[in-house]
Structures are given as C-alpha cells and as structure tokens.
Amino acid sequence: MKNIHLILFASLTTVSCNKHKLPSTTTACVVTSCPSYFGTTQTFTYDDSRQMTSRKYDFGTSGYGPFTQSVDKNKTHSSYTQGGGTLEETDVFLGGTGNLYDGMPAWMTRQEKQTSPDGSIINRGPDTLYSFQYDGKKRLVKAIYMASLINTGNVNIIYSRQLSNMVLDITYDDNDNAIRLKQTAVYRQGKYNVNTPSNSYFWFDSTASNVINVTYDSKPSPFSASLKYWKFVQNDLGVASNTNWQAIITALSPNNPLTIKYELQQGNPSSTSYSMTYNYTDRGYPADSYTYDCR
C-alpha cells in the first residue's frame, strides 16, 4: 500500500509556497485555502499560536475519499478512503528539538494501518523512511529516503541489485531559496558465497536521477508562516523519493519559483524548463485561488 501511495503523490503537481521577506508593515499571513495536489481545494486550521493543526481536501477521483491530516509537535496523522477501505498513516518525527514546528527533525518513521472493506486490518511498521541533515543556518541540505530492502528469503533476490536510498542534496542562495537540487539513487547488490556464506558481501553504487536549477521572485509565498515545517507536513513527502518537484521546491524556499530548469531528468541530459507567473495580493502574496488570514 505504501508504494501505491507514493506513486500516486509522485504524479501530482502543486503550487505550495513559503516566504522570505515580508512587507515591513505587516506580520506573516497564514494560508487558509489553496489548490490541492489534485486540482481541488485544500483547507487549513491553526492554533492560537498560528501553527498549523490540520489539513483537508477531496481527491476529486472516483474511489478515493477525503484526505484529512492532523499536525502535532512531533507527528502527523493522515487518513483517506480507497476502494471502500481506509488507509491511515502516522509519521513520527524524532531528534532535533523534539518539536516539529521548529523544523529540524533528524528522522521520520511511519506506521500504516490499512482497513479493508470487510473490516480486516493490516498494520505495517513503524518503518524508518527518512533522515534529514542541516547546515549552520538550519536549512535542510540533505534528505535521505530509505527504501524497503529484501533481506530474507531467496538469496538470489537478497543479493540482487535493489534500490537502497534516494538522496536529495540541496543548494541555497543568500535569500535561503533552494536554487539547485540533485537527486541520486543508491543501489545495493551483492555476491553470495554458496560454499562459505559468511564470506558473502554487498556493495553500493549510485546514479544521479535529476538535477534541477531554480530562479525565484522576491515575494513571500503562501506558506510563509509554515516555512520551517511545511516541507515535512505536506503529504507528498517527495523530498527525496518522488518527482513532484514544484511541490518540493516551494516547500523548501521562502519565495515563489519563477523558472524550473532541468540539467538531468530521469537520468538523461535535459533542457526541459517550466515558467510560472503570479498575481499578488496587496501584501505581496500570490493571489489566485489562495485565501489568507492576515490578522
């Protein structure tokens, strides 16, 4: 079920955003609604400290029920219906300050609960899915997705070439925008010694999958107030493993992307590029299809 979920979100595009500099006459606005990954509308709630506490949207796709997500200081919990059953995921963030809202967790684990239409339940996990690294400015510079390796059963499968990790390295400009992203796939394979199993061994190799360069405007993006933690809350979680690049880029950066240009795309040299334009509110935020609370 986890793989289906990741593939689904990998196919989506979104305009999610953050902020760098705000107009000097106002405090940060929080976004209350904006386009979802599916072209529907997602809505948000906040506590008295204006920290996000929930998110909800409809898939707009037959067979899938509404997606709901709660946000707490050390975890998120999401659920949606699929084919008459329900999938629940609890992502727990560990390390750092111990507070997700501070935006510096070291690890993320996931527990899944799948309820079938007949009421039967399958529990998976908790599995460690991600590790995170930061620079001296507390910016996320490396995210590592940990794939599920086959380590039991047929030795021919165990020692075959398997995806081990997806690694995303991030470079920032002086305005803290992610201007270059490099995604690398790391594979594990091995040699099984039939006569002396203790002499069996593994080795790792890697290949670059995507390299992307990005330019930005100078305006704050809709998720300004959630800049520290939105990249962890958004359930795309393609920070390292998926290909929803606009969602990833806008979750990492305080301004709005203007151009996204590939040097490498799915392992091949590329000249593919995308351009974005915005209409802005009187406070400088993207206006179209977004609403804000600017108290």
**Residues 221, 18: contact at Cβ < 8 Å?**
yes
Q: What is the pLDDT of residue 242?
A: 62
Total count of domains within the chain: 1
pLDDT over threshold 90, residue 184: yes
Confidence bin at 131 (pLDDT 50/70/90): very high
Confidence bin at 240 (pLDDT 50/70/90): low
Confidence bin at 83 (pLDDT 50/70/90): confident
Residues of the domain holding 82: 2-293
Confidence bin at 239 (pLDDT 50/70/90): low
Confidence bin at 235 (pLDDT 50/70/90): low
Q: What is the pLDDT of residue 7?
A: 31
Name which of 223, 185, 181 is nearest 51 in CA terms: 223
Q: What is the pLDDT of residue 264?
A: 94
Average per-residue pLDDT in the chain? 86
Is the whole model's pTM more than 0.85, yes or no? no
Q: What is the pLDDT of residue 6?
A: 33
For range 150-176, the mean pLDDT: 92
Confidence bin at 225 (pLDDT 50/70/90): confident
For range 87-114, the mean pLDDT: 93
Confidence bin at 144 (pLDDT 50/70/90): very high
